[in-house]
């Protein structure tokens, strides 16, 4: 029996692989493709076999020359591709392979009757990633008619090995020849930066972000998002010193709209959207970095706090975004005065933590400004303790200290003032008035600058200040690191102020002595002046200098009560003007113009306006509530007085009183004016709602309380006057 030749062994191996593929159900996928160069024949046996179990061939056969991996796309549709790597291999004939005319060879499956002289082999390709592996078997054969050993036959291309975007793939190739050679190569699968993948791979198709600014909110639109895929929208604050916090995330499936309140829109607000896959591409947009309104909101939310770190000045800025600004320490001689920047001490704002001005010593006149774009955005001073974190105890130095600068190179001292440095030889000794909270409040309320007091000829204090620096009486605020730097000194000026204040007090005492001497010379005139002063401020006239406008209706009960009130208050020093009435003034002007003028005068002067409620006056006030302020007697009023009280004529007698209400009610509703309501308790049960904003008193039972309200203060001397006013009102009202 003849021994089987090499062709028989090869054919048996191929049949074994085919049987294994059929038995396992055919793991090959039709998407894998195989191509051979001219002169070679090849076919894909199995796209997923168990590598390392194939038997070696009986002798020399095909040999691998080189292996190359190339990126490719495997597509199931126009925009449904996945990235992969295709393998290109160059083959050659091993030395010792059968030649034309030998008694060996392979029988091609296609022509078993008359086989040509061929060389064949099994090509195995395997791929490995961090999560999976795969092995492919390929049958290759080539004619041996005129190919010497070691000569290249052609190439084989397998397409392709899939892997996740951006992952690394390790591909190994070998044949089943007896002297098999292994070739391996590592290649990274392209990510979404590959131009071919951006339009074809769904994971690389990032949605677009569109922002629309509205009057109260910002609308964020996620566009070009595939329906059915999960997306994440993130809103965060971007910082130059590191990525922003986790921010706010919103999940969506497909296109979406998200509304953001305008108060949350800041220059560092950024938007980011990505597909929920492994290592996705992210679309990022920071659309408000140049928005002026967003910058204004950021500065409004920024806080500057000064710190005492022991000996040096430090500060910290609290802001949700990075600030393109610098910190500038400055010298403010008085609250509200111009703050003089200290030279060579400014530094950029870095982060949110405390920033220290190295060896800058503390002083009450030191401030820190935050400047951005040439503007002072924030400023805090050490005198403002509400915005400072300082150690207990007083700050060293005095608010009247003078700031001196000593330039480098042994230059002479100069005084920092008004944006420049004045040499002491030309410096005029001008000092600021000592600061006090009351003075600061008055100047701020009047919107006036803080003046300076004291003047003198130039160079008056040059020698004294130089001696103070030399003797150590001045505090060195800043010490330079080298001899060419600038030194800053704070020198006391309050000792020079004492002489000026002593002269001022001496002059004041001299004037007081002269006035007292003149008064003593005119003793009788002094007695008369003291008597008039006592009469003006004693209990005999507690309401002297006060004025009251009395508004009442034109009916008998109201007129009697008004006359009684006026007669009781005039002896107490109060001027009472009753309306209606007015005498010659009302006759010359007319009732309504005169009444309007009196009301305006009372409002301007801060006089008391007393509204006396009688039945007719109450009816007019209630008509104001029910008829929206229509003047009684007019067609708009259309109502009649309350029948529970005394009957009111068809033609209302209180036209002037209704006009007075038209003047008083809007002012009273606005919370202005000094209004008092007095009701005749026998005929008016309650104050109408339109007048309840003013304090109310019932007459005559609360006459004492009314008198105290008019006097504006409590005084034991008012007790007898209260009883007299109550008796007079009871008599006028017939009680």
pLDDT in tens, 95-121: 665 554 444 344 344 444 444 567 778
State mean pLDDT over 574-596: 71
Express as a percent the part of the chain with pLDDT over 70. Answer: 71
DSSP 334-359: STTSPPEEPTT--EE--SSS-EEEEE
Of residues 619 and 545, which shows the higher confidence score? 619
Distance between CA 638 and CA 474 in Å, rounded?
A: 84
Higher pLDDT, 10 or 422: 422
pLDDT surpassing 50 at residue 502: yes
Mean pLDDT of the chain: 75
Task: Please state, in angstroms and rounded to a whole number, the distance separating the CA atoms of residues 149 and 139.
Answer: 20
- Could you tell me which residue, 279 or 568, shows the higher pLDDT? 568
Task: Say yes or no: domain 547-627+652-733 is CATH 3.20.20.100.
Answer: no
392 pLDDT higher than 80 = no
Ranking 24-33, 151-160, 257-266 by mean pLDDT, the lowest is 24-33
Q: Burial-class residue 482 by CB neighbours within 10 Å (0-12, 13-18, 19+).
A: exposed
pLDDT over threshold 80, residue 543: no
Residue 350 and residue 373: Cα distance in Å, rounded?
A: 16
What pLDDT is recorded for position 300? 94
Same fold for the domain at 33-96+117-198 and the one at 205-293? yes
pLDDT band at 650 (very low <50, low <70, confident <90, very high): very low
Q: Which fold has domain 33-96+117-198?
A: Immunoglobulin-like (2.60.40)
pLDDT at position 645? 41
CA dihedral (480, 486, 489, 490) positive or negative: negative
Query: Which pair of tokens denotes residue 656?
Result: 């002037």
By the 10 Å C-beta count (0-12 exposed, 13-18 middle, 19+ buried), 649 is classed as exposed
Q: With beta carbons less than 8 A apart as the criterion, state whether 726 and 703 touch.
A: yes
Architecture of domain 205-293: Sandwich (2.60)
Residue 368 in tokens: 């820190």
Residue 637 pLDDT greater than 50, yes or no: no
Q: How far is CA 368 from the centre of its chain?
A: 21
Q: What is the mean pLDDT of residues 353-375?
A: 87
> Which of 98-102, 224-228, 586-590, 595-599 ranks highest by mean pLDDT?
595-599
Parse the chain into domains and list their residue ranges.
33-96+117-198, 205-293, 547-627+652-733
pLDDT of amino acid 18: 40
* pLDDT value of residue 242: 54
Proportion of the chain above pLDDT 90, given as a percent: 12
Lowest mean pLDDT among 161-170, 693-702, 712-721: 712-721
Q: Minimal CA–CA distance to 352: which of 380, 377, 319, 312? A: 319
Give the pLDDT confidence score for residue 269 in this predicted structure.
93
For the residues 40-59, what does the mean pLDDT come to?
Answer: 71
Q: So what's the pLDDT on residue 12?
A: 42
Q: Is the pLDDT of residue 296 over 90?
A: yes
- Non-local (6+) Cβ contacts of 257 within 8 A are 219, 220, 221, 222
Check: CB of residue 68 under 8 Å from CB of residue 187.
no
State the average pLDDT over residues 30-46.
82
Quick one: tokens of 218? 């910002």
Q: Residue 294: its pLDDT value, please? A: 94
Mean pLDDT of 618-627: 81
- b or e along 382-413 (b: 16 or more beta carbons within 10 Å of the residue's beta carbon)? bbeeeebeeeeeebebbbbbbbbbbbeeeeeb
pLDDT band, residue 179 (cuts 50/70/90): low
Please tell me which residue, 724 or 489, carries the higher pLDDT value: 489
Residue 282 pLDDT greater than 90, yes or no: no
């Amino acid at each position: 029996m003849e021994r089987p030749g090499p062709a028989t062994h090869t054919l048996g191996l191929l049949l074994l692989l085919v049987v294994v593929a059929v038995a396992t159900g055919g793991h090959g996928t039709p998407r894998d493709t195989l191509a051979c160069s001219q002169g070679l024949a090849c076919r894909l046996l199995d796209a997923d076999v168990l590598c390392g179990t194939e038997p070696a061939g009986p002798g020399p056969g095909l040999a691998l020359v080189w292996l190359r991996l190339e990126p490719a796309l495997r597509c199931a549709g126009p925009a449904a591709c996945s990235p992969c790597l295709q393998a290109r291999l160059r083959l050659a004939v091993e030395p010792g392979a059968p030649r034309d005319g030998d008694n060996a060879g392979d029988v091609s499956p296609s022509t078993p009757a008359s086989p040509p002289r061929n060389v064949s082999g099994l090509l195995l390709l395997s791929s490995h990633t961090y999560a999976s592996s795969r092995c492919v078997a390929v049958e290759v054969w080539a004619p041996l008619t005129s190919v010497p050993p070691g000569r290249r036959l052609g190439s084989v291309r397998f397409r392709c090995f899939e892997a996740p975007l951006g992952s690394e793939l390790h591909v190994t190739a070998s044949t089943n020849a007896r002297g098999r050679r292994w070739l391996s190569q590592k290649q990274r699968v392209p990510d979404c930066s590959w131009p071919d993948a951006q339009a074809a791979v769904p994971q690389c198709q990032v949605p677009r972000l569109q922002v629309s600014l509205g009057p109260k909110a910002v609308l964020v639109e996620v566009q070009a998002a595939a329906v059915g895929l999960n997306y994440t929208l993130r809103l965060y604050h971007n910082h130059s010193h590191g990525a922003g916090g986790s921010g706010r995330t919103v999940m969506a499936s497909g296109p979406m709209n998200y509304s953001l309140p305008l108060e949350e829109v800041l220059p560092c607000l950024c938007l980011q959207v990505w597909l929920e896959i492994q290592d996705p591409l992210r679309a990022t947009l920071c659309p408000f970095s140049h928005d002026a309104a967003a910058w204004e909101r950021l500065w409004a939310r920024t806080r500057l706090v000064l710190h005492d770190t022991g000996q040096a000045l430090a500060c910290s800025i609290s802001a949700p975004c990075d600030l393109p600004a610098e910190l500038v320490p400055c010298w403010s001689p008085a609250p509200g005065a111009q703050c003089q920047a200290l030279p060579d001490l400014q530094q950029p704002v870095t982060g949110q933590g405390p920033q220290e001005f190295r060896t800058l010593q503390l002083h009450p006149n030191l401030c820190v400004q935050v400047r951005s774009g040439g503007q002072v955005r924030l400023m805090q001073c050490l005198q403002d303790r509400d915005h400072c974190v300082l150690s207990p105890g007083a700050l060293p130095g005095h608010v009247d200290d003078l700031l001196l600068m000593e330039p480098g190179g042994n230059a002479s001292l100069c005084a920092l003032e008004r944006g420049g440095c004045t040499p002491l030889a030309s410096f005029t000794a001008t000092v600021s008035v000592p600061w006090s909270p009351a003075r600061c409040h008055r100047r701020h309320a009047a919107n006036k600058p803080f003046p300076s007091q004291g003047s003198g000829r130039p160079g008056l204090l040059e020698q004294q200040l130089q001696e103070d620096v030399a003797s150590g009486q001045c505090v060195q605020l800043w010490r330079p690191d080298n001899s060419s730097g600038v030194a800053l000194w704070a020198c006391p000026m309050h000792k020079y102020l004492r002489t000026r204040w002593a002269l001022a007090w001496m002059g004041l005492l001299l004037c007081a002595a002269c006035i007292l001497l003149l008064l003593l010379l005119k003793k009788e005139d002094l007695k008369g002046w003291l008597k008039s002063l006592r009469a003006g401020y004693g209990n005999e006239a507690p309401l002297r200098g006060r004025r009251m406008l009395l508004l009442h209706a034109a009916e008998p009960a109201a007129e009697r009560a008004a006359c009684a009130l006026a007669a009781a208050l005039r002896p107490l020093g109060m001027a009472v003007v009753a309306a209606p009435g007015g005498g010659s003034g009302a006759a010359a002007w007319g009732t309504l113009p005169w009444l309007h003028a009196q009301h305006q005068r009372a409002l301007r002067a801060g006089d008391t306006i007393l509204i006396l409620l009688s039945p007719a006056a109450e009816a007019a006030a209630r008509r104001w509530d029910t008829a929206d302020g229509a003047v009684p007697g007019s067609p708009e009023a259309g109502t009649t007085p309350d029948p529970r009280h005394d009957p009111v004529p068809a033609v209302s007698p209180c036209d002037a009183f209704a006009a007075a209400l038209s003047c008083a009610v809007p002012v009273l509703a606005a919370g202005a004016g000094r209004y008092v309501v007095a009701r005749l308790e026998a005929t008016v049960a309650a104050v109408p709602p339109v007048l309840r904003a003013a304090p109310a008193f019932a007459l005559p039972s609360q006459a004492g309380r009314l008198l105290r309200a008019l006097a504006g203060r409590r005084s034991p001397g008012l007790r007898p006057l209260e009883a007299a006013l109550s008796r007079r009102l009871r008599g006028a009202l017939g009680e």
